[in-house]
Amino acid sequence: MEKIILSVKGLCAGYRNRRILDGIDLDIQRGKVYSIIGPNGCGKTTLIRAMSRNLRPERGEVFLDGSDIFRTNTKLVARKMAVLGQSDSGMSDITVRTLVEYGRYAHKKWWAGSDKEDTRVVDWAIERTGMSQLQNRKINALSGGERQRARIAMAIAQKPEIMLLDEPTTYLDIAHQLEIMELVSTLNREEGITVVMVLHDMNHAVRYSDELVLLDDKKIYTTGRPNELLENRELEKVFGVDAEILTDSEDNSPIFYAKRVRR
């Protein structure tokens, strides 16, 4: 069995007396890509926020490498986990390089400046995400896809073991969506970074994930490999659609083609 890097036990969470998640149990295995999917309002973002320590649950626990994430020093968490939410507001008037340098703060003493290792890692993160030619450009001068790559560069500059992404392709056009998904897949495959992400596009989730986590009605409806969930028609049941499962002619990967809403 693969080693568990992140574990959720009996998680209940919500906002202002409104419970969004009720009794979530989930184990994330090291080195895999997970996509959290489900209907609007089912709690995908709430789960990511609780898993990343950005939302304290009403009940339950989250363990990062066996330690309670809510009782672990913030810098120690940041050295293992990188988190990218949906919003990048507040960081638009700085250069790409400055943004990526923020990713090194978890590895520094508060009084220390950048050292050779920081410079090496920042250079690596910028190069790894294809941002070398843009590193001196302001964030607000970039396209949506370029901004997202810059944010991912900042995240991997932390040298994390696991990366949590909340809808990383939202508001991007098709080409930039594919660019980001390929980048995330490459970082998982070549750098060994475990990935957990919320996605709305079913075919991105099916194509790029090792495991799907399907949420519905405040709970995990089911988990499993994409092929399994498609074959068992689980996505159709939860999303209330009739679909056809097609096959990509190049790599034989499945394609989820929703044809109509179930009546």
Break the chain into its structural domains and give their ranges: 4-261
254-261 and 241-247 beta bridge pairing:
antiparallel
Burial (0-12, 13-18, 19+ Cβ within 10 Å), 74: exposed
Q: How far apart are CA 55 and CA 37, in angstroms?
A: 19
pLDDT digits (tens, 9 = 90+) for 91-125: 778 999 999 999 998 877 654 556 788 999 999 99
CB 102 within 8 A of CB 154: yes
> Nearest 5°: CA angle at 247, between 245 and 253?
105
Q: For the chain, what percent of residues have pLDDT higher than 90?
A: 86
Distance of CA 97 to CAs 100, 183, 193, 238, Å? 5, 18, 22, 43
pLDDT digits (tens, 9 = 90+) for 135-173: 999 999 999 999 999 999 999 999 999 999 999 998 899
The residue among 80, 79, 104 whose CA lies nearest residue 6 is 80
Encoded tokens for 34: 């997970």
Mean pLDDT of 234-260: 92
pLDDT band per the 50, 70, 90 thresholds, residue 209: very high
Q: Which helix (H) or strand (E) holds 137?
A: none
Topology of 4-261 in CATH? Rossmann fold (3.40.50)
Encoded tokens for 69: 């994430």
Q: How far apart are CA 147 and CA 132, in angstroms?
A: 13
Q: Does the structure show a pLDDT above 70 at 88?
A: no
CB 180 within 8 A of CB 172: yes
